[in-house]
Structures are given as structure tokens and as C-alpha cells.
Structure 1
Amino acid sequence: MHVLILGGTGEARRLAGLLHGAEVAGLRVTSSLAGRVAAPRMPDGEVRVGGFGGAEGLAQWLRTHEVDALIDATHPFARTISFNAAAAAAAAHVPLLALRRPGWVPGEGDRWHPADSLDEAAALLPALGRRVFLTTGRMGLAAFAHLDQLWFLMRSVDAPEPPCPVRMEVLLDRGPFTLEGEREVLRRAAIDVLVTKDSGGAATSPKLTAAREAQIPVVVVRRPPVPDGVAVAATPEEAAAWVRQFSG
């Protein structure tokens, strides 16, 4: 049995490890990474790096490499990849599962402002603060480039490319992050508003706790929906159990 994991997330690496160590005769696991991060953390098992050429290219890869099950364990905001995976799985008649960690839920004392896009998030900022901690990644900075009256601290794994906000400091770092570290970032940079995507998970959630403690407003970009008709697992363990049902 051949399983293809569309990866790049911690959950994808955890799933690859679970399947790689599973006592399932003949189980082959391939993880696919998009190649957008210069030095990605590598999962167990076989790895391929790079795109497929859209839904049609992915469907052809599934057929050529005799893939029996496809798991979309990409970032919750990798909308294009997820919809290509759904179309490719349907075309190649391969079962598909989306592995999605649950989104964050606001707690008592949170000052969240939901947004449906980065553009909408940018439109909210001038009324909320002047010193912005931007944690939406290096892609999509063009949405904030016109806000020349605001100052941004932008955190990402790799350096961003223009267009970017004029008044911006770049912090190159990779999670998981600690609560004490996030408190220090907010304090040192005098942050008065945080922008994040609803990525979910514990690796980057301490910033939300730090913002709550400091009574800083948080603009939270909602995640796109999973394509219609695609089964969803919340944990790598659930996804591994889904794979095992095909291996008997």
C-alpha cells in the first residue's frame, strides 16, 4: 500500500512517523513538501520536494506512482493545494483525507477581531493600533504594504520578498514558541496589536495568551473551509487509523 502525505506541518511529520513505525506489511509512505521553506524539517519515510503542476499533475502522479490513499496534511490556509488535492483524488479515484488541527477558540479576556482575508485584516488595523506584530507568514505581505503610518514586526521562518510595509522589522524564527518568549517580544517591541491566521495548534498559540495578558487586540484571519465531501481528521492518530482501514 502506498500513502502520499501532502505535508509541511508538524501534524504531517507526526503522521509520517506513526505510519513509518507501524507494523503494516508493505506500507510505503511518501511525504510531499512544497519547497517554500529553505531548510524544512524532514519527516520519516520517502520525501519529494516541489509542486505537481496543479490538480491534473497531481492526479497523474497518483496514477503513475500507484498511490492508494492521499492525505492532505498541509497548512490550514493552503487553500489552493487542498482544492487541487480534492480534484486530483476524484480524478484518480483515490480516497482522500484532510488532516486539520482544530482552530483556536477565544477565551475570557480575549479581544479578537475576526477577518475573512488578509486585506480585511489590514483594513482593521489603523483603528486598533500603531505597532503591529504580524505573524501571518511571509506570503501575502502586499496586503499590508500600503499602511505606511503603521510599524510592523513581521515574524517568519525565511526572509520575505517585496512588496512589504515600508516601516517593518523582520524577526526570523521558527516555532514552537514559549509564553515567556512571546511576552518578551510584545514588551520589547511595544506591540499594541497582533495579527494572526487561525492556524490552530499549540506551537504558536502562546502569542494569544501573551496578547490576552497585555490586553492587546488580536486580528484573527479565519481559515478557508475544507473542500466539500472530504473526510476530516483532527489528529495524526485519527489519520493513521484511517489509513489502517485500507491496509487489511
Structure 2
Amino acid sequence: MGQQASVPKAGAEIQVIGAGLPRTGTSSFSAALEMILDGPTYHGGTQISRGEPIEIQSWIKALKYWAKGDPASRIEMQKIVRQRLHGYTAVTDAPCSQFVPELLEIYPNAKVICTARDPISWEKSMIQAQGLAMAWFLRAVLLPLSGMRHFVDYTEQLAIQWERLYGVQAGSHDRDTYARHIAWLKENVPEERLVFFEVKDGWEPLCKVVGKKVPENIPFPHINDSEAIVRTAQYHIKRGLVRWGAILALVSVTVGYCVMS
């Protein structure tokens, strides 16, 4: 998260389903997949925060359909997923890390790779992310931004999904959530299709799983998710405040003109 949004490529199809939770090296994983699969990766956090407004709006709809749970809603949800992932070679990060069973139906030949991390370190990282995502002023500050004005609604829908899957409430994701996610994956993905990968292990194990050669003289990408999320939060908060400043200035000028008239 925090990088530039990827652009779909004609003819590209999903080859890898990234099943790892956010903050498990998904940004580095995404960048590595783009190199070895020679196509764009759909990193959920980045596409939602840096992509066009339709990205976040579509996932809110998909999450609402998922929550309904009936067959008709499931079909509508899968339609949205297909539309958003069309033209990508891989998908990583939330919300798709919670759509793994549905993704397996849509892409039966894709490999399922779960980025892994020490649960205690993951818990500490999530505390930081939750603090940024649940700031009380976000809805008001982001209101003037066409896409990010929906961010709080998105996090609320995502929280509903996580509560149903893992039995935890928003803002309380800890090492137990991590363990429950792993258990959930093992229940829903055939053992022979589920692979765990740590980005610190570099190219060789990843290339072996996807059947690609190790890139020569190219270091494995290491992107700091924590720094990226902070930069993205600061970027959108600044945009929101600047937009509010312009709105208030326009209102002030208009009111002053009306008074003088």
C-alpha cells in the first residue's frame, strides 16, 4: 500500500491469489509478482487508496453482497470481483485476502500463496494501521475527495467481514486474528494448493512456486508497508484539508460579495 495504482493489461489473467493478510509484506510480494509474471498485480490497499473512485466504490458493493450471503448476492459479488480483477496477473492484500474461496471458484487454476509473518510483529503493525484507519476526524476530512470520502464506509464493511470470518470486532485485530486467518485458509483451500511464503526468503521459494526463473542481478523488492501507509494517510489528509480550505475560501468570498451587494 502507498505505491502507485497498477493499470490492467490486455490479455492478463489471474495466476496467483495472494491470501496473506495486510501487513505481511503484501507490497513487496506484489512488486515481486509483477516482475516474474510480467504483468500488473492488483494490490487491494493501493488500488483502493490510489486508484480511481470506482475501485473503493466497487469493493464496498462487493462486501455488502458478501454480507447478505444468499446465492443471488454471491453471483453479483463475483461479477464485481471479475470486473475489478480483469487484466491483472495476481491479486494481493485485503479485501481479496478474505475472498479466497470465491476467488478459487472464479480462477480455478490460480496458485494460492499466503504471505506469512511473525504474529507478534504483525499485531504491532496492525495497531498502527488501525489507529490511522479509525481516526475520528477521517470522515469529515476526506469528504471533499471523490474516492476517499468512501474510505470510512469501506473500513466499516471490511470490519463486518472480518468479524464474521474471525470473530473479532473492528480495532481489535491481534495475533489471535492472524491465527484464525491461517486456520480459515486451511479449512477452505485444499492442502496441496496452499503455499506459505515469507518475503524475507527472497526470490527462490517464490519463483519455484510459480514456475518462473529467478531474476538475474535484480534484488528482491522490499517495501516498508508501515511507512507506505503513513505516507498515504498523510497524502489524503493533506488533500482533504487543502480541498476544505478552497471550499471555505470560496464560501467566504461568496458571502462577502452578497453582503456588499
Q: TM-score range by the shorter chain?
A: 0.3 to 0.5
TM-score by length of 2: 0.36
Higher helix proportion, which one?
2
TM-score by length of 1: 0.37
Higher strand proportion, which one?
1
